[in-house]
Amino acid sequence: MTCFNFNITGEGEATPAGHKFPGAYDMEDPALNWNLNSTEPYPMAGPARYVSSYNVELEPNEVVIISPTNDEEGDKRYFEAQNRTLEAQAGVTEYFDSIGG
């Protein structure tokens, strides 16, 4: 399990409730007892997600593309290989979805 602590700054005054571990999850929580072979959607575990009462626009971020090889042809081969891998993984997922799990 991975836990995160966030320090969010700004002009807002909201202070969402935190959750202590252990204790944030109930062992009877349906998500912790969900059948992996179920066709029902996975019920999210744990406390409810915080929903802000504010709606603000985010500042645009600059898009930075980092070359994995520092070579245009090398990058092309690299991304083609990545794409083949992802397509193969998608095929496996599609197969297991088709047989129910």
**Residue in 46, 8, 3, 4 with CA at minimum distance from that of residue 24:** 46
Q: Where do the domains of the chain lie?
A: 70-100
Helices (H) and strands (E) in the chain, counts: 1, 0
| Cα of 42 vs its chain's centroid, Å | 14
Q: Phi and psi dihedrals of 14, rounded to 5?
A: -70, 140
Whether 91 has a pLDDT exceeding 60, the answer reads yes
What pTM value is reported for the model? 0.35
pLDDT digits (tens, 9 = 90+) for 1-34: 566 777 777 777 877 777 887 888 888 888 888 8
